[in-house]
Amino acid sequence: MTSWRTSSYSTATGNCVEVAPAADGVLARHSKHPDAGTIAFPHPAWATFVQDAADGNTPGTNGVAAITGNGTGTVVRSLTDGTELHFDDGEWTAFLAGAADGEFTFTT
């Protein structure tokens, strides 16, 4: 069973970047649109993705997903299968705040 979680900074509606630890890394999806797809990150790539996001490093150096702005928010696009996860500014800000507090730090 996958234990999905969002940032504690998410609003009451709970729409945010949703992540879950997995055997080989971390899974990410959009909590409001889970059927839009999931991006799987090996542990080292996840740590780099979180740092890329925190630093505003676009498109990023994690090798799994590109981070780009689209004028109204942030798009995270898988470099392997093209899955795109779209987050508005509030959702992305909540993710960044949670990441800064270590909410998405997973050990291998």
Tell me the pLDDT tens digit for each residue of 86-97. 999 999 999 999
- Rounded average pLDDT over 11-25: 85
d(CA 64, CA 47): 11
pLDDT digits (tens, 9 = 90+) for 36-82: 999 999 999 999 999 999 998 888 899 999 999 988 899 999 999 99
pLDDT recorded at residue 16: 87
Answer for the pair 18, 30: CB distance below 8 angstroms, yes or no.
yes
pTM of the model: 0.91
- Rounded average pLDDT over 14-40: 92
> What is the token pair recorded at 22?
């997995």
